[in-house]
Structure 1
């Protein structure tokens, strides 16, 4: 039996008998996960164990299931009530989702034997028809108490989408009930869902759904449950830790909030070389000054499982809330991220690491559930492996992507994307087609879609996740004045609170300093271009060859300067593969339709990315080529080229 399971046996055994008596304190165990994002396979991870940097793999759904089954076996042995909950955002995240569009999520999650799941924002990434199919096919309820689906043609009749569910317990045995009368004298726990009140601003496809404010919707549902006679209430939410804490303070009557959305791995993980985060199972006093609510969350990407033990008074007040998150580790450890056999720990080294892990409270060696592993490998993994292709490099430590630099910390990924585009444009094969040498690369932050996690980097991680929009690369002549104007335009537009920051410019072959002088505005105090190995001041009158995606080159996403400079005449070239060979498509000018959509007018044959034999994702190809040939061990660049000084 796993050490994390053994740790709770005595406490649960002592509480097990009392839990069946409605006039005695009721003890409940809750196992929980959130933001699993289709990470059905384990994730590569770097840990510091026994003062050494080592590489292993964490989590994955077969390992989650194995650990959850262990907790359930423990609870059964103690005749103790237990629930297994998901805090939302099961969708998106890996090629599994892109290939299977939610069907695999429904299949695998049903095999996990969850008791309930909150509705996350990424569950709206397709459309409500496919979301309804997912909700209708899973074998557990999907919860959202502050959601009104009555006007939506696809979700209005989704019987498995509920505001809450009731579970009646007879010791370890539980069953769904509709009313307290159905439960008799057995203790009842209500599990309610709370979703983002601003979902319509965050999710792309919410149809005709309406979202009630989180605090009001939660309090209304608690009041309804209390009027029914339900005393023990759990909320599974997809709001983020800060809003969960607000909910705990402002809503009376919730005993436990199991959260998601902010990917918060609560607890102190410095013993593993990770961060110390906010404490697990913090307890907050409700607005009435009497009730208390405990808040938990379990990280991201199916790497960890939370386990919290609650003790509640007969009238439903929280007496005790204790537990923690456990990272679920493979038992193979390597000295190098490339994980070759010669890097694998063995003998006494492996035994010492295993002993170190055994002594830690927040990590465990867990075998994968063999049946679920075999099911994934047989039915889904072959297609994924074909789609992801070859390994092009390795990422030793996580590379973060943020759109707008904060406190001097910007994206680590976007500068690499810019560097890849500048490198690619200047390779002999590309120069043979363009006849030009690029000086500068510009990247819009919104075109970079994800951070990079430690581990293997395959072609599909780039084409399906990092740069999934299949944009053609463009090269165009701009004066120094136009480059500076574009930077000023996009930076100033990105600064206001709540602004769309996808237009913020990252660079290669260029560096700049922007100083904010007033509210959400400022000037470029330095802008330099690298030529002949030296940094030189950007010449306003000089002409520079600039590479970027065709999307940004057409002035989309607020890059209006690019549109303005190409309305009459341009020397721009768009680059795409035609029947496997790189080809240049000269652009004559740009215009806009009455509806404001940019139109690209080509000199000869237009670039049609949907045409047979045409492949436009040269932005992704540039990054693949760059990593493979220049940065097979991919780390952050020493400098981003950006200094953003805010007031």
Structure 2
């Protein structure tokens, strides 16, 4: 096999359009053409980077040849996100959890390196994943305090995570002290709710949350906060989840108020990468 080298730069851009048509009825007898009021939202998103901040070498099959490529790395991700953000209007930049654990950056520096890289990208919202609890509630609290800056106030989400107030470092004085169940953002004159969910059973069983921290059912929690934002007149709803692809597909069938799901945890490759010899688990977007 012939071997060559090139840099693989890949970022996935999700675009959701919500269209509302209004028929204007005139006093005149002649019919008038309906006007279209289209709202277009661009979603830039990643998940499960697991402290992998450097680019990696890997072998891909392309054009019946094997290619040694340099792929990923947070500098490349950040550059592509900034490029896409500048080229589009009404952009949301989201991270669907598991920023931590998986490389020597985390082993040697804890969450500090990840927080710095993420602040450079500037995510609008981040949902807490199971591996964020690998060093207990105290470790997560340290990460959340470092995540976000005055010029880039990343919102941290976890609607179904319930640390014990007065006991957990996440809630030393009150509920929702270091993260919140949802956030409401404005883009193009439209209000959009983003609700965050973590995978309940897996986090409790395989990570290291404090014993007193509870994880509520994902479906019931989603229903609760969807109803809450709808009562505020908000109809555009994004679920930012860390509950796995199959669970996302299952939940969204039972949540008709949800427009978009950005998910993580299962490391599911979506899209057509057959030209590179890679198999995916579904189309992008699903």
For 1:330-361, what per-residue CA distance to the aligned partner results, in whole angstroms no more than 9, with x for missing partners? xxxxxxxxxxxxxxxxxxxxxxxxxxxxxxxx
Question: Which of these residues, 146, 171, 180, is aligned with residue 156 of structure 1?
Answer: 171
1:65 — aligned with what? 78
Q: Equivalent residue of 1:25, what SS?
A: strand
1:270 — aligned with what? 274
For the structure 1 residues 8 and 38, does the alpha-carbon distance in structure 2 shift closer, same or farther, using more than 3 Å as the test?
A: closer
2:6 — aligned with what? none
Question: Which of these residues, 171, 180, 183, is aligned with residue 165 of structure 1?
Answer: 183
Q: Which structure has the highest helix share of the two?
A: 1
Task: Measure, in 2, the Cα distance between the counterparts of 1:255 and 1:63.
Answer: 29
For the structure 1 residues 118 and 99, does the alpha-carbon distance in structure 2 shift closer, same or farther, using more than 3 Å as the test?
A: same
Q: Equivalent residue of 1:280, what SS?
A: coil
Q: Please state if 1:93 is matched with 2:102.
A: yes
2:134 — aligned with what? 125
1:173-572 matches, cutoff 5 A: 186-198=189-201, 199-282=203-286
Task: Measure, in 1, the Cα distance between the counterparts of 2:280 and 2:218.
Answer: 29
Q: Equivalent residue of 1:201, what SS?
A: helix
With structure 1 as the length reference, what TM-score do the two structures score? Answer: 0.37
Task: Give how far 1:104 is off.
Answer: 1.3
1:23-38 matches, cutoff 5 A: 24-38=37-51
Structure 2, unmatched stretches of 5+, are 1-8, 20-35, 149-153
Q: Equivalent residue of 2:237, what SS?
A: strand
The 8 Å contact of residues 219 and 252 in structure 1, kept in 2 or not, is answered as: no
For 1:161-214, what per-residue CA distance to the aligned partner results, in whole angstroms no more than 9, with x for missing partners? 1111111123xxxxxxxxxxxxxxx21111110111212112123342111101
The 8 Å contact of residues 128 and 205 in structure 1, kept in 2 or not, is answered as: yes
Structure 1, unmatched stretches of 5+, are 16-22, 171-185, 283-647
For 1:557-616, what per-residue CA distance to the aligned partner results, in whole angstroms no more than 9, with x for missing partners? xxxxxxxxxxxxxxxxxxxxxxxxxxxxxxxxxxxxxxxxxxxxxxxxxxxxxxxxxxxx
- RMSD between aligned residues: 2.4
Task: Give how far 1:234 is off.
Answer: 0.5
2:26 — aligned with what? none
Task: Give how far 1:8 is off.
Answer: 10
For 1:77-99, what per-residue CA distance to the aligned partner results, in whole angstroms no more than 9, with x for missing partners? xxx20001001000001011000
The 8 Å contact of residues 32 and 87 in structure 1, kept in 2 or not, is answered as: yes
The 8 Å contact of residues 133 and 139 in structure 2, kept in 1 or not, is answered as: no
Task: Measure, in 2, the Cα distance between the counterparts of 1:249 and 1:162.
Answer: 25
Task: Measure, in 2, the Cα distance between the counterparts of 1:51 and 1:234.
Answer: 40
Q: Equivalent residue of 1:84, what SS?
A: strand
The 8 Å contact of residues 87 and 238 in structure 1, kept in 2 or not, is answered as: yes
The 8 Å contact of residues 91 and 187 in structure 2, kept in 1 or not, is answered as: no
Task: Measure, in 2, the Cα distance between the counterparts of 1:258 and 1:251.
Answer: 14
The 8 Å contact of residues 268 and 277 in structure 1, kept in 2 or not, is answered as: no
Q: Equivalent residue of 1:107, what SS?
A: helix
Task: Measure, in 2, the Cα distance between the counterparts of 1:188 and 1:149.
Answer: 29
Question: Which of these residues, 110, 121, 134, is aligned with residue 119 of structure 2?
Answer: 110
Higher relative contact order, structure no. (Cα contacts within 8 Å, ≥ 6 residues apart) = 2
Question: Which of these residues, 137, 143, 156, is aligned with residue 157 of structure 2?
Answer: 143
The structure 1 segments of at least 4 consecutive aligned residues displaced by more than 6 Å after TM superposition are: none
- Matched positions, count: 250
Task: Give how far 1:216 is off.
Answer: 0.5
Q: Equivalent residue of 1:24, what SS?
A: strand
Task: Give how far 1:66 is off.
Answer: 0.6
1:386 — aligned with what? none
